[in-house]
Every structure is written in C-alpha cells, then in structure tokens.
Amino acid sequence: MKWWGWGHEGTSFTHADKPGLRPFILRHLEVDIGRATSAPVAFDELKLPPPSLAPGLAEALAAAVGDEHVSSEPMDRVVHARGKSLRDLVRQRRGDIGRLPDVVVRPGSEAEVEAVLRAALAADAVVIPFGGGSNISGSLEAPAAEARAVVSVDLGRLDQVLSIDPGSRVAEVQAGAFGPDLEEQLNAQGWTLGHFPDSFAHSTLGGWIATRSSGMQSDKYGDIADLTRGLRVATPAGLLVVRPVPSTSTGPSVREMVLGSEGRLGIISSATVHVHRTPAERVILGYLFPSWSASLAAMRDIAAGEASPSVTRVSDPEETQFSFATKKGSSLVDRLKSKALMTFLQRRRGYDLEAMCLSFIGYEGSERHVASDRRRVKKIVARHGGLCIGSGPGELYDQKKFDTPYIRDFLLDRGVLADVSETSAPWSALGTVYENVTAAARAAFAGLGVPGYIMCHLSHSYHSGACLYFTFAFKPAGGREPLEQ
Amino acid sequence: MKWWGWGHEGTSFTHADKPGLRPFILRHLEVDIGRATSAPVAFDELKLPPPSLAPGLAEALAAAVGDEHVSSEPMDRVVHARGKSLRDLVRQRRGDIGRLPDVVVRPGSEAEVEAVLRAALAADAVVIPFGGGSNISGSLEAPAAEARAVVSVDLGRLDQVLSIDPGSRVAEVQAGAFGPDLEEQLNAQGWTLGHFPDSFAHSTLGGWIATRSSGMQSDKYGDIADLTRGLRVATPAGLLVVRPVPSTSTGPSVREMVLGSEGRLGIISSATVHVHRTPAERVILGYLFPSWSASLAAMRDIAAGEASPSVTRVSDPEETQFSFATKKGSSLVDRLKSKALMTFLQRRRGYDLEAMCLSFIGYEGSERHVASDRRRVKKIVARHGGLCIGSGPGELYDQKKFDTPYIRDFLLDRGVLADVSETSAPWSALGTVYENVTAAARAAFAGLGVPGYIMCHLSHSYHSGACLYFTFAFKPAGGREPLEQ
C-alpha cells in the first residue's frame, strides 16, 4: 500500500496509451497532463515523532499477539495513520502526516483481537481497527491532540474463509479478508459473495461491514447490509455475537447497529455472509441512450420490471465523453467502425452526440435466465430510444472497473484535485438531485475562478431509487489552500 | 374487537360444516368438540377499578385530541388492556383483566399524537401505543403495580394512505391503517404493499413496524423491515424523522432501531413503504410431497433457484392431516376424486399417506413470468418426488388464510389450549430444529400426562433459511393452572 496514494507501489495510471485524454483535459481543465509537475515529499523527509506508549502496553500487546506482530516501524505507522480520501492524500503528499498511531498490531485470531482490546483498555489506550486502509470518512485518523497511546489494529492476518454451509448458502469469513482473496477462496469452491465496491482490491469484509458498503452488483446481491447475517465483534464489554439466522422479527436490530459503526463499537473479527453459486453465464452489455433523462427513465423501468440484472449503470453525457477520451488508441478498423456508429446515431436515430449517455447492464445466471432478462431489458431500452452496442465495451469496463482510483494520484501529480461523492435518491428526485449537484459544482468552480469538470453515473439501482455517483476535478487557484477550495 | 377473543363480535369458527374435525380432535386430544363446555365470564361481571388520572391530565388530553376522542368507558379500557396471546385470552376469559389503562385517546393527526405525548410527559403518565390490539408479546399491558396513570394511544383514526409516488414506487401511509383498509386504498390506485401477516385483518402498519412483522408473501415482497424506508415517530425528545431514501451507506441504522421497538421509543405516526403494481396474474397452486424432508429440500432448492414465487409454504404430515380434517363436507364427486388421487399416490408413487405433506406455492406477475416460474418450480418439485394438485386447494387456502386465529377461541370454549410459536433457522438446521421442537412438545405433553398435538409448516423462505411455524394444542390436566402447564 502506498503511503501517499492508492494501491500497490509500482501500479499507476498512464495517459501514454490514451491519445484522447491529453486534449480532453487540456480543453476542460486547462492543464497539460503531458508531464508531472508535482510529487509527494520523500518518505525520508517526513518528521515522525517517536511512538509514545503507556508503561507496560508494548509488553502486553506483544504478549497478546507475539513480538513479531507488534510494529512501531515508521512506514507501518504512516500507512496506518489515515485512509485514502482526497483530504488524506493531499496532506500526506505534502508531509502533513497527522497524529500517527504509536503502534500497529496484527492479531492472528479472534482470541488475539480480544487480548489486544483488553491490553489497550488496561492501558487507557485508543484502539483504531484497520482493514484495507482505503477508508474515506476519516475513521482511521486519531485527533491531532490525542494524548493517549494510539493502537492501530490491522486485521490483515484474519483473511480466511472459515466455513461454507452449502445448504444454507452462507459462509463464515474472517474480517480481514481482502476482496480478491475472499472471492478467490469462495470461487475455488464454486461460490461468490457478489460484493464489488470500487475499493474491492484494497478493502476488507470487516471494512465493508463497518462502513456499510454498496457494490457494483448490489442490484442483484444487495448491499453488504443485506449480505451480512451473523457477526462476531470484540467490544470493550466482551464478545458480541449476532447469530447468523436467516431473518429476525424481534427487537431493534443489533446487526444494523454494527453495520456502519466505523469501528466505534468494537472490532469485527468475523461475519457470516450470504454466498451464491458462481453463475453459469455472465455478460455485461454496453448501451447508448439519447439523453440523461431517457437513461434515468430506462433504469427506473428496468428496476420496476421483472428482469433482475446484476449491474445497471449509466453515465451522464460528461462522463460518457470522458470515457471516450480514455479509450486506448485503437486500430484503424476500430476507429472507422466507431465513426460509422456515430454517423448512424446522428443521421438515423437523431442523436445529439454531446447529449448521448453510455450504459452498462450486466446479466448473470443460467443461459435461459440471461436470455430472458436480455429480452426484457431490450424492450425497455428501445422504448427510451436506446440501443445495445454489444459486449465489447462491457468486457473492457469489467476488466478496468477497479483501476479508476489510480487516476486521482496521476492528476495530483499534475496539480489537479479530483474526488467522488455519492448519494442515493428516489427515482422521482434523481433528476433534481443531479441538476442541483452539478449546478452547485459549476457555481463553485466559477466562484473560485477556475476551470472545473463534474460528471456523474448512476451506479446501481434499488426498488425506490438509485445511487448517483459524482466525480469532480479542478485545478485549484494559486495562493490559496487547495483543500479549502 | 372482542374483549375476550380474536376478531369481530359475531364472527367465529364452527365445526358444523367440517365432518372430519370432530373425530380428528377426539382421536388426538380426547376431547369431544360437539358442544362448548366453557365460556368467558360476562362483561358485566368484570370488576373494573375506577380510572386514576393525574390532576389536569384528562383536560390536557381533551385539549390535545378533542373531548370525543378521550374515553374511560369500561369496554374501551378492557379492550385496550392487552393483546391476543393465549396468555392474554385465558386470563381475560376468567375475568382476570390486569392493569387496565386509565384512559384511551384517539389522536387524529401527527400533531395530535405529539400533543398527547407532551400531555402525558407533563403528568408523568405511562404511554402505550395501540394499533390493532393483536399483539402477542405482552407489549400492550402495563405492569400490575403501575402507580402512574396509563394512557393507551389508539392510532385507529390515522388510517390514510397520504400519498403515492408512482415513479419511486413508495407510499406514505399513516400508522393506524389496518391491513384490509390499507390494501383497499392502495389497490384502488393499482398498487399493493404485499404484506400479509396472519393477523392482517386485525393489525396495522404501525404495529407491523413496531413488531418487525413478516408475512405470507415475504418471499417476494420482503419482511416489513425491507418494505419500510421512511418513518415519522413522535418521541419524548421530539419528532424523529427517518427520511425515505432508497438505501443508506452511513452509520448504524436508526430505521432498524425503530423496527421491532414495540412502542418503547415513541409512537410511529406514519411510514413510507415500498409498493408494487398489483400483478397481472396471481395464482396459488397446491402440491403434495412424499415426506417432510423431501418438502424442506424442495423449498430450499426453490429458494436457491431462479424462480421468485410469492408464497412457499409446506405443512408437515401432522398439519397436512389437520388440513384434511378441516375440509368442508364436499360432494360425492369430490370425495371420489380425492379417493382416486390417494390411491394413485399410494400405488403408483409409493406415498405413505401418513407421511405426505401439503404445500402451497404462489406465483405473481406477468403471464409469461408466472408461466416460467411455474416451469422452474415444477422441475424442482418433481426431483423431490412431489406433484402439483392444481389451483383448487390454493384458492381455498387463499380465501381462508386469515381465519385460523378464530379456531383458538373455539377450542378455548371446549377447554383446549392452542397456540403458535415460530422461528427462522438456516436451511441446514431446519430438520434438527423441527425434530427438537416437536420432541420437546411431545415430552411436555407426556410429562403432564395429557394428550397433545403439535404440527408445523414452513411459512416462508429466505436466502439462507426459512421460518418454521409451530401450532400446538392440548387439554390441560385438571387441578393445575393451565397457563403454567
């Protein structure tokens, strides 16, 4: 994990193979991305205060998890100090590393998690649970003035699928399992959890539960709140066990108090979650719509209909243009095909190419189920003036879907701030929420006197509405604090 | 509402048109149901203590809701004192009426609910929200020694569907709307909530939410917890508003704290709930299975498959026999047909008629969807040795499904105690839970030295398990407190 940015050291975004991107960003943000103009400070230059541990705490933690799993190494402390919000990254890059944890411990079992908690309580220390470190709500950071010892509890060693109950279609999984590792273990036995948030590669099951996560396939599989049945949580008052019953009809839900609690109630050590058989067939198709309002209406009608797609996603015109601009340099044949399609859309279908919206809809299940869902969706898409452009764009989207966060670091290297913000809203309010948010962003750019860009996609659907996922970028004006801007 | 039993005065269960029932109960409970042997005490004989209201409380309540909506009438106080658990009814029937509320108020708006709460708080009175009065968890009853004034807040006047948002498929509904009234208002505009608990006719939306209710069609529509998005709750600290967003991904769920809170947090005044278009087609088919284990396996496979039936219900052999015993006297042709079916099942399919299980599976949606789901289910049913017996039994079940509670009063009139108890369990544990519960009940009957009967149905299914709904009946031994037995 990079201490200053997203993902693994050595993996980064490049514009070199995307000929359309440089002119696109030059036009909209007035920035030439040809070369980097900014870089994080060197790690060696960071000023780390020495760790401050209450007397006996280091020994108690070592007794709890073993010497080799207690670390006050500089890199461990810096990586565990914050998540990956834009605010976090901007400050990390300039060497403002905040209140570091004094020690990072890595328990290897639920009993060790409990022992860590007891040791921290006895020493009046602060405990911060740490999963993948991609939190964007500030939950990993201790207050600047925190005087007590801060213990970061990294769940990374608790990465096992403990058991699968094939009859009941649930699996008990340790909280520190990262997305890819978890899916690999489940897939090996023919199962999937079906939870794919954007942070999938760098977040854990415990983190998804603690942050009440949604994913790209929540349409079919549900949010993590729907997928989670049982919980085991080490709390200061002892182990909290929510039994993995299929449903409950008594009392306020303790399960739903732990969901979204961001580590405040305790440390989730494992959870029992719904799993599904890996589908026989899986396809993501691309679609184009003549306008944003037609797209939203189509997604609404799909949600209200009898098809049950796994993915319903559509980009507004601005994000559609951005997608086209990030296409890799393609062959002459591809370019000619694409040109022919655009001509057809303009002349035969009356599309305004500037208003056009790109959509991906995913299908999973038996061959028969997928075929029948595709037919149902096709009718709705046609009713709203859209058309299918095949599986090629969908495959590309599917391969690249977890890479987007890397582009933020690429832009920070070029002095551009970019971030995302999402909300769900009822179908009947989606258009208004969209208009108001984009207008507010453009007014803010104008107020700062800088060029800026805001784009949006509907990321997934619910019964009564959908999630709008906004991405914005701008080059901050000189002479003023970028984060305030 | 009867003060001593289920439902409306004048409606009751009769065995007169069910020739198989008298011999069935004689055989299993050694009771001749030919005539009633017991009756509730007369209302006039009840000893009601005078209402005790703190000074000024009656005036404050009258100011809040209007004189005509404040009542300390004997019948109002007795009806509002308890719910309809077996424990409640046994005590009511013998004139043990418990700690009556001192006053019943009927607010006509959310503002009036708030005003009632303020008046009660100012007088240090106890407030008990009252919906349909069919609660079985004791939540309507004040402790015997309660010295403060007890105010029962009857939500019955808040019975309106306030608005329907057709685009977002949600409706805002007042909490006091009873099931039939609510469905009637929704159906008139082409919508349904799809929530049908056994108590449907005598329970309210607010009651369903406060008790975290499930229904006969929860397979398709979800539990009330899934259907409820927004809430307005008058609490001692002020109005709690949970906004009706399609989903949330932040923090512990306040919505899920109100669900199941049984009136302890405040008075639910209205809720925004999912609604669905009334389906074009709706059918409930009857099926027979050769054994309970084959039935459970079939229901599990249906839940894991691609069909989405609205009802999945199957009775164990004991409940199947009871169902046959409660059949109305049918024509000679019907009886011959039925005999021919039984002969076919025994000779051609090798069924043991004593082990056979009766199932109902419901389908809703477009003609095409229903046809495709029926095909999918048919395959699974066949794999487990079951077969479809057509729509006749299903139609009968559908008409009579809310009448079952009346039989409890009929049995109490004949000295027999009967009640229900339900739980959900994972698919892999259902068989064990069933064996253990039925064995425990039979051991309890044997311990008392009385004949008893226990039967069960799987009432609805979830992803990872299902709900088992047990019904038991026995004639208590003489000379000992029946409720203790």
Strand ranges (E), A188-262: 191-192, 228-235, 238-242
How many other C-beta atoms lie within 10 A of the C-beta of residue B28? 18
pLDDT band at A161 (very low <50, low <70, confident <90, very high): very high
Out of A169, A365, A465, the one facing B463 most closely (by C-beta) is A169
Q: Which parts of B41-178 fold into alpha helices (H)?
A: 57-65, 74-79, 86-93, 110-122
What pLDDT shows up at residue B479?
87
Residues of B in contact with A248 (CB under 8 A): 212, 260, 424
pLDDT band at B76 (very low <50, low <70, confident <90, very high): very high
Out of A246, A252, A253, the one facing B465 most closely (by C-beta) is A246
Q: Do B212 and A170 touch (CB under 8 A)?
A: no
Residues of B in contact with A430 (CB under 8 A): none
Place of tokens 């609805």: B460
The minimum CA-CA distance between B461 and chain A, rounded to whole Å, is 9
Single-letter residue type at A474: F
For the record, the structure tokens of A192 come out as 């999937």
Q: Searching chain B, which residue's CA lies closest to the CA of residue A245?
A: B425
A329 has pLDDT over 80: no
- From B231, B234, B235, select the one nearest B172 (Cα to Cα): B231
What pLDDT shows up at residue A418?
96
B108-149 per-position pLDDT tens digit: 999 999 999 999 999 999 999 999 999 999 999 999 999 999
> pTM surpassing 0.90?
yes
* Annotated active-site residue in B363, B397, B434, B469: B469
- Cβ-contact A293, A265 below 8 angstroms: no
B169/B330 Cα distance (integer angstroms): 43
Out of B261, B428, B467, the one facing A167 most closely (by C-beta) is B428
Return contacts of A26-31, CB within 8 angstroms, 24+ apart.
Answer: A28/A451, A28/A453, A29/A416, A29/A451, A29/A452, A29/A453, A29/A473, A29/A474, A29/A475, A30/A451, A30/A475, A31/A414, A31/A415, A31/A416, A31/A475
- From A442, A464, A444, A461, select the one nearest A453 (Cα to Cα): A442
Q: Which of A203, A247, A369, A427 to mutate to test the interface with B (most CBs of B within 10 A)?
A: A247
Residues of B in contact with A256 (CB under 8 A): 252-253, 255-257
A411 has pLDDT over 90: yes
Residues of B in contact with A426 (CB under 8 A): 165, 167-168, 170, 244-246
Q: Which of B247, B366, B459 to mutate to test the interface with A (most CBs of A within 10 A)?
A: B247
Residues of A in contact with B257 (CB under 8 A): 252-253, 256-257
Under 8 Å CB pairs connecting chains A and B tally to 157
B225-254 per-position pLDDT tens digit: 999 999 999 999 999 999 999 999 999 999
The minimum CA-CA distance between A430 and chain B, rounded to whole Å, is 10
Q: State what percent of residues in chain B have pLDDT above 90.
A: 91
Sign of CA dihedral A444, A446, A449, A453: positive
| Residues with Cβ within 8 Å of residue A52, at least 6 apart in sequence | A102, A149
B392 has pLDDT over 90: no
Q: Do A253 and B248 touch (CB under 8 A)?
A: no
What pLDDT shows up at residue B45?
96
| Residues with Cβ within 8 Å of residue A229, at least 6 apart in sequence | A170, A242, A244, A245, A246, A255, A271, A272, A273, A274, B464
For the record, the structure tokens of A177 come out as 């399992």
Q: Do B464 and A369 touch (CB under 8 A)?
A: no
How many other C-beta atoms lie within 10 A of the C-beta of residue B146? 13
- From B196, B195, B199, B203, select the one nearest B175 (Cα to Cα): B203
pLDDT band at B328 (very low <50, low <70, confident <90, very high): confident
Q: Do B246 and A170 touch (CB under 8 A)?
A: no
B434 is catalytic: no
Residues of A in contact with B263 (CB under 8 A): none
Q: Do A306 and B365 touch (CB under 8 A)?
A: yes
What pLDDT shows up at residue A394?
85
Q: List, in order of start, the domains of chain B with CATH numbers.
A: 40-154 (3.30.43.10), 161-277 (3.30.465.10), 281-400 (3.40.462.40)
A232/A268 Cα distance (integer angstroms): 6
Provide the mean pLDDT of chain B: 96
Q: Searching chain B, which residue's CA lies closest to the CA of residue A214?
A: B249
Mean pLDDT score, A331-335 = 79
pLDDT band at A434 (very low <50, low <70, confident <90, very high): very high
Burial state string for A383-404 with b = 16 or more CB within 10 A and e = fewer than 16? ebbbbbbeeebbebbbeebbee
**If you write DSSP's letter for every residue of A418-450 in order, what string do you get?**
EEEEEEEEEHHHHHHHHHHHHHHHHHHHHHHT-
pLDDT band at A208 (very low <50, low <70, confident <90, very high): very high
Q: Do A245 and B277 touch (CB under 8 A)?
A: no
Q: Searching chain A, which residue's CA lies closest to the CA of residue B276?
A: A304
Residues of B in contact with A302 (CB under 8 A): none
Sign of CA dihedral B172, B173, B179, B181: negative
B264-289 per-position pLDDT tens digit: 999 999 999 999 999 999 999 999 99
What pLDDT shows up at residue B396?
82
A206/A259 Cα distance (integer angstroms): 10
Mean pLDDT score, B320-328 = 92
Mean pLDDT score, A201-217 = 96
Rounded alpha-carbon distances, angstroms, from residue A236 to A53, A261, A417 = 20, 15, 40
The minimum CA-CA distance between A247 and chain B, rounded to whole Å, is 6
Provide the mean pLDDT of chain A: 95
- Cβ-contact A265, A299 below 8 angstroms: no
What pLDDT shows up at residue B150?
98
What pLDDT shows up at residue A54?
87
The minimum CA-CA distance between B3 and chain A, rounded to whole Å, is 26
Residues of A in contact with B248 (CB under 8 A): 212, 260, 424
Q: Do A300 and B167 touch (CB under 8 A)?
A: yes
What pLDDT shows up at residue A293?
98
Q: Searching chain A, which residue's CA lies closest to the CA of residue B229?
A: A464
Better pLDDT: B66 or A341:
B66
Determine which of A30-34, A206-210, B50-54, B337-341 has the lowest per-residue pLDDT on average.
B337-341
What secondary structure letter does DSSP report for B263? T
B330 has pLDDT over 80: no
Out of A167, A250, A366, the one facing B306 most closely (by C-beta) is A366
pLDDT band at B378 (very low <50, low <70, confident <90, very high): very high
Q: Do B426 and A170 touch (CB under 8 A)?
A: yes
Strand ranges (E), B131-208: 150-154, 161-165, 170-174, 191-192
For the record, the structure tokens of A219 come out as 């349409």
- Cβ-contact B101, B142 below 8 angstroms: yes
3-state SS string for B409-457: HHHHCCCCEEEEEEEEEEHHHHHHHHHHHHHHHHHHHHHHCCCEEEEEE
Place of tokens 């495709």: B372
B441-469 per-position pLDDT tens digit: 999 999 999 999 999 999 999 999 999 99
A120/B478 Cα distance (integer angstroms): 61
- Triad A448, A453, A458: Cα angle to 5°: 130
The minimum CA-CA distance between B252 and chain A, rounded to whole Å, is 4
What pLDDT shows up at residue B65?
98
pLDDT band at B477 (very low <50, low <70, confident <90, very high): very high
B144-201 per-position pLDDT tens digit: 999 999 999 999 999 999 999 999 999 999 999 999 999 999 999 999 999 999 999 9
A40/A378 Cα distance (integer angstroms): 48
pLDDT band at B401 (very low <50, low <70, confident <90, very high): confident
| Residues forming beta bridges with residue A120, ordered by sequence position | none
